[in-house]
Amino acid sequence: MIEVSQYNKLYGDFRAVHDLSFTVAPGDVLGLVGPNGAGKTSTLRALAGILQPTSGTIRVNGIDLVAHPVEAKRHLAFIPDEPQLFEYLTVVEHLRFMARLYRVRDADARIDPLLVELELDAKRDALPTELSRGMKQKLAIACGLLHDPVALMLDEPLTGLDPVGIRRMKATIAARARAGSAVILSSHLLHLVQELCTRLLVIRRGERVAYGTIAEIVAERPELAGMSLEDMFIALTGTDPHSADPATRVDASADAAHATTEQIAARNE
């Protein structure tokens, strides 16, 4: 369970996130979407304990992240868009390092299946400099999954993965949610969001503009009914790909979802 209440983040005078509140229940996959600079990264980094909220509370598994960061962090995993690895540790040493830090007792029993699941078993003794971008991403994911986090946060998890890796990654995320993890998935790939997420959180300029299941969002904003997710995104964030003003131009990927809100709602139900 992830609970965020009245989260604010200021950088000097700049307000990156404003009064953001949401909850991710066990088994839920929340899609965090918004245009560039909307505050997605600031939100994810605060949830991962990297940034200190200026105000507001963040609870992971019922533990206040600001008051008890160490206890809270034991239950979460954050996988950044750019895999950050220690250059001087091999793949398997990374996992053993994380296992010791997160007090994973049956580390050896978990490491091998995880390496197989993420197709890293042949690279277990490789250094990060010897891995491709996709392999590094897989290692970062393996490090995040090793301790069975209650809260899993992924920032653009498919970047650098090959088609097979993408399929496996999607299956992994879904499996983790089914196993009871609360998952937050930040991505510009709307088809991924559409496929995996049970709820949506759309933010723009640090503020929440929509939150809930597609059906709940449409119920709140009837004008969105019948729209594809891409159109919905544009309508909600006020970004227009054809606008002359670059600030309002959407940067969502070209392969954004085209299923209508009805179809999405039906699938999620």
Partner 1 sequence: MSTRATASALTYLWLTSARNRVLAQKAQLRQPRYVVAMLLGGLYLWFVVQANGNPESSPFTQINTNGAGETVVAAVLLLLSARWWLSKPDRTALAFTPAEVHLLFPAPISRRELVQSKLVRGQLAILLNVLIWVVLLRGSGASIEGWQRGIALWILFSTFTLHRLAAALVRLSAAQNSRAGRKRAAVPVLVFVAMFGTIAALLWQARPAITSSWVYGFGTVLGTVHDALQHPAARIVLAPVQALVAPVFATSGTAWLWSLGPALLVLLLHFMWVVRTDAAFEEAALEASQERAKAIASLSGKQLSAKRSKGGSVARILPIPRFGHPAIMIAWKNHAAALRGGGWLRQLAIFIVVFAGSLLALQASVGMPFEAVLSITVIWGFMLLLLGPVWTRFDLRLDLRDLGTIRTLPLSGRSIVSAEIVGVSILHSITIFALLMVPVVFAIFDESTRSSALDLLGAPWPAAVTVLLLVPMFNLLTFTVQNGLALLYPAWVQLGTDRRGFEAMGQTMLTFGITLLVAAVALVFPVLIGLAMAFIGRMWWGPWSVPVATAIALAIVLAELIPIWMALGSVFEKTEPGDVPGQKT
According to DSSP, the residues that pair with 57 across neighbouring strands are 5
What minimum distance in Å lies between the beta carbon of 87 and partner 1? 5
CA-to-CA distance for 77 and 102, rounded, in angstroms?
11
Distance, C-alpha 221 to centroid of its chain: 25
Round to whole Å and give the CA distance between 104 and 85: 19
Please give the Cα distance from 232 to 214 (Å, whole number): 10
Q: How far is the CB of 121 from partner 1 (least distance, A)?
A: 18
Q: Using CB under 8 A, pick the residue from 5, 6, 36, 50 that binds partner 1.
A: 50
Pick between residue 125 and residue 220 the one whose CB is nearest to partner 1: 125
b/e sequence 119-143, b meaning 16+ C-beta within 10 Å: ebeebeeebbeebeebbbbbbbbbb
Per CB under 8 A, does 125 bind partner 1? Answer: yes
Return the residues of window 142-161 that contact partner 1 according to CB under 8 A.
none
Contact (Cβ atoms closer than 8 angstroms) between residue 250 and residue 234: yes
Binding to partner 1 (CB under 8 A) within 66-105 occurs at 69-71, 73-74, 76, 78, 80, 82, 84, 86-90, 93, 96-97, 100-103
**Which listed range, 44-52, 167-175, 183-191, 246-254, lies at the site for partner 1 (CB under 8 A)?**
44-52
The residue within the footprint of partner 1, chosen from 129, 222, 246, 254 (CB under 8 A), is 129
Alpha-carbon distance of 42 to 84, in angstroms, equals: 17
Minimum separation from the CB atom of position 74 to partner 1 (A): 4
Which residues bind to partner 1, rule: CB under 8 A?
11, 45, 48-52, 69-71, 73-74, 76, 78, 80, 82, 84, 86-90, 93, 96-97, 100-103, 125, 127, 129
